[in-house]
């Protein structure tokens, strides 16, 4: 057993936030399903057990209910209780058959055909921001100036948010993402993000009622057309799910664009390949998701005692399904620590697996692929401005706080 395993590292130590992969490789090699006293959870870093966690009925995606069960309700403010009730209705925290019931309301709305209909809107937004990013001189922050606003702009337009409300919607979505992904750093930030969730919910409820009265060509109208809202899915359940959609795709896609660009800059041969063959964008996005994707892990809850990779897991315990480790498992991937934009097939777990496979994956792929190719075309001299980057301290996210680049 390696020294790293014996010391049971804290995954939010600065060096592991910056580069978790050597430690995760040592952990996976010694014990792909490892009980961590530091985290009081199982760390699942092997590909096969990680994939199994998404489909085993003994392992639950619901991590809100157990937390609420341990929290006396009288300790929660009315705002906190309402925020938790909204989050408890997110599909990502719900198991079958409830998960299938809720997900059914979006049937077709996130499909490849619907996404293709939005391709011109995506390409227009990408081209506008890429030209702005590539049209100046000197140094910009790729995160703040390109990677973060682009998916938020696309998400707002796709959901049917009026142009005059886009900035407000984006601010709420970003703050809700910080709350859900554990990025808030102070009680003041937590309270602000919690209020953003409540404000976003109230705003979207009004928008849903407006689209019910007068449908348009947008996500909310497409979902309402299924006839399930108000029937098998309540309006409040639908609006709660929309609050998740509002931040989830934007946050994941912005991190994919920023971290993906950073990795391309660190691998000039692969960068040159994508410049020369932009048609590789779709395959390149899959490899960037595998190699250093925007989600490091997902949290699961053991519902019933079960065995996983030789370990006995007990009801009530937590699991960290560390996809960042699983996606570099040499038992599943050849040359797992190499970035290869031609890698195919690529069965990574970056979008999850099974019933919880990411609903917004088609749109994330479209936006990220267009963003990378258009950015490289608009900024032929793109290069890192310095050797240091700043990472957000998050267990769940692989997220850059800033990425200074020269154009």
Q: Is the pLDDT of residue 1 over 50?
A: no
Which of the residue ranges 125-139, 143-157, 301-315, 390-404 has the most confident prediction, judged by mean pLDDT? 301-315
The structure tokens listed for 359 are: 């609903």
Higher pLDDT, 3 or 117: 117
Predicted confidence at residue 137, as pLDDT, reads 60
Predicted confidence at residue 155, as pLDDT, reads 86
Predicted confidence at residue 316, as pLDDT, reads 92
Predicted confidence at residue 125, as pLDDT, reads 77
Average pLDDT in the chain: 89
Domain residue limits, the chain: 3-406
Q: What are phi and psi for residue 74, nearest 5 degrees? A: -70, -15
Predicted confidence at residue 4, as pLDDT, reads 44
The verdict on domain 3-406 having CATH code 1.10.630.10 is: yes
Per-residue pLDDT, averaged over 388-404, amounts to 91
Least confident of 176-185, 331-340, 352-361: 176-185
Per-residue pLDDT, averaged over 115-143, amounts to 75
CA count, 13 A, side-chain hemisphere, 316: 2
What percent of the chain has pLDDT above 90? 60
What's the rounded Cα separation, in Å, for the pair 211 and 235?
13
Predicted confidence at residue 139, as pLDDT, reads 82
Per-residue pLDDT, averaged over 112-122, amounts to 74
Predicted confidence at residue 115, as pLDDT, reads 73
pTM exceeds 0.85, yes or no: yes
Predicted confidence at residue 278, as pLDDT, reads 95
> What is the H or E stretch that residue 298 is in?
strand 298-302
For the stretch 357-384, pLDDT in tens is: 888 888 889 899 999 998 998 888 899 9
- C-alpha distances in Å from residue 323, one per residue of 7, 89, 206: 21, 24, 37
Least confident of 11-20, 117-126, 285-294: 117-126
Higher pLDDT, 20 or 80: 20
Higher pLDDT, 227 or 132: 227
Closest by CA to 172, choosing from 207, 146, 139, is 207
CA count, 13 A, side-chain hemisphere, 51: 9
Predicted confidence at residue 386, as pLDDT, reads 81
Q: Is the pLDDT of residue 3 over 50?
A: no
For the stretch 154-207, pLDDT in tens is: 888 889 999 899 999 988 988 888 887 766 668 888 889 999 999 999 999 999
What's the rounded Cα separation, in Å, for the pair 223 and 231?
13
Predicted confidence at residue 362, as pLDDT, reads 86
């Amino acid at each position: 057993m390696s020294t790293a395993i014996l010391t049971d590292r804290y995954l939010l130590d600065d060096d592991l936030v910056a580069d978790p992969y050597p430690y995760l490789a040592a952990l996976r090699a010694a014990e792909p399903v490892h009980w961590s006293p530091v985290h009081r959870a199982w760390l699942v870093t092997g590909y096969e057990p990680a994939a199994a966690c998404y489909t085993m009925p003994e392992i639950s995606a619901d991590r809100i209910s157990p937390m609420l069960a341990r929290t006396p309700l009288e300790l929660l403010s009315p705002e906190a209780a309402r925020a938790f009730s909204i989050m408890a209705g997110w599909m990502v925290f719900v198991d079958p058959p409830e998960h299938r019931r809720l997900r059914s309301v979006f049937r077709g709305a996130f499909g490849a055909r619907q996404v293709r209909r939005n391709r011109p809107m995506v390409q227009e937004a990408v081209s506008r921001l890429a030209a702005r990013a590539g049209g100046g001189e000197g140094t910009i922050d790729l995160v703040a100036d390109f990677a973060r606003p682009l998916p938020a702009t696309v998400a707002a337009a796709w959901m049917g948010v009026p142009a005059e409300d886009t900035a407000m919607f984006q601010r709420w979505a970003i703050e809700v993402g910080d709350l859900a992904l554990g990025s808030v750093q102070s009680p003041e930030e937590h309270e602000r993000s919690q209020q953003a969730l409540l404000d976003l919910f109230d705003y979207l409820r009004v928008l849903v009622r407006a689209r019910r009265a007068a449908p348009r060509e947008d996500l909310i109208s497409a979902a309402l057309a299924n006839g399930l809202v108000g029937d098998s899915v309540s309006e409040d359940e639908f609006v709660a799910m929309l609050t998740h959609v509002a931040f989830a795709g934007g946050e994941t896609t912005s991190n994919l664009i920023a971290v993906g660009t950073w990795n391309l800059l660190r691998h000039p041969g692969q960068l040159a390949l994508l410049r020369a063959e932009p048609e590789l964008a779709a395959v390149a996005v899959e490899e960037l998701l595998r190699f250093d994707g925007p989600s490091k892990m997902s949290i699961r809850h053991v519902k019933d005692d079960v065995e996983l990779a030789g370990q006995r897991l007990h009801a009530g315990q937590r699991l960290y399904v560390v996809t960042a480790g699983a996606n570099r498992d040499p038992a599943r991937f050849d040359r797992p620590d190499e970035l290869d934009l031609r890698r195919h097939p690529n069965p990574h777990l970056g979008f999850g697996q099974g019933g919880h496979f990411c609903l917004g994956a088609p749109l994330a792929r479209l936006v990220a692929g267009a963003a990378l190719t258009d950015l490289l075309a608009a900024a032929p001299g793109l290069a890192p401005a310095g050797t240091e980057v700043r990472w957000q301290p998050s267990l769940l996210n692989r997220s850059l706080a800033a990425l200074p680049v020269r154009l």
